[in-house]
Amino acid sequence: MSPVVVKLGGSHADAPALRAAWLAAIAAANGPVVLVPGGGPFADAVRAQQGPLGYDDATAHDMALLAMGQHGLALAARPGFVAAATPSRIAHALAAGRVPVWLPSAMLARARDVAKGWGVTSDSLALWLAAHLGARAVLLVKRDAASPGLDEAFDGFHARFDGEVRVAGPEHLPRRLDTAALPGALLSAPPSAAARRAERGGARTSAPGAQASTCSVPAAAG
């Protein structure tokens, strides 16, 4: 079963009750989930110190990835979650029935399709990871779903991802995440992605006996 990628916005770092509720819903999900952490206060520190310390945007990008990793390690300390930096570690965690929390630096170290700068944030990186894992959907969890503040590279990554993308806020918080019917508002797919989905749908209709491809990431238990 293909996983769902859930990106938990870094602003939840200072909303402990809301953060705990979302993590509980994710831990209780009825299908495999990979968690992508926002940078939160760690990324804020990178941005705040860029002027005083004088590093360029490419360096700030690398530091922001480490900031996501720091936030991820904090989230992974919760029971049922585990830090995972590579596809094999993610697969191993899912096979063990745990929620892998992605630490992005290792996979992105040589990624030529990700520009280094503030124009690419954890929202776009969640789509990038989802495409690499063959995930079927991405859920962006925000403090304010009506004003999600998506980064400037987001549309390009969305266009290259064939799955469903939704944005959810506190008003969409479930007791248990249903990976087959994700909460939140559906983000319209860019034309290129929508066309690919239509083509796949037509191919499935014209060839009902064809076998669906399987994801290399194992499904999590329960």
Please state which CATH class domain 4-206 belongs to. Answer: alpha beta
Task: Kindly list the domain boundaries of the chain, sorted by start residue.
Answer: 4-206
The pLDDT of residue 192 is 59
| Nearest to 27, CA basis, from 129, 94, 99, 93 | 99
The pLDDT of residue 198 is 58
* Ordered per-residue pLDDT tens for the chain, 222 residues: 799 999 999 999 999 999 999 999 999 999 999 999 999 999 999 999 999 999 999 999 999 999 999 999 999 999 999 999 999 999 999 999 999 999 999 999 989 999 999 999 999 999 999 999 999 999 999 999 888 889 999 999 999 999 999 999 999 999 999 999 999 999 987 765 555 555 655 544 333 333 333 333 333 332
Residues in contact with 25: Cβ distance below 8 Å, sequence separation at least 6, in sequence order:
173, 174, 175, 176, 177
| Nearest to 129, CA basis, from 112, 154, 108, 153 | 108
pTM to 2 decimal places = 0.85
How far is 164 from 89, CA to CA, in rounded Å?
A: 24
The pLDDT of residue 190 is 72
Strands 99-102 and 137-141: unpaired
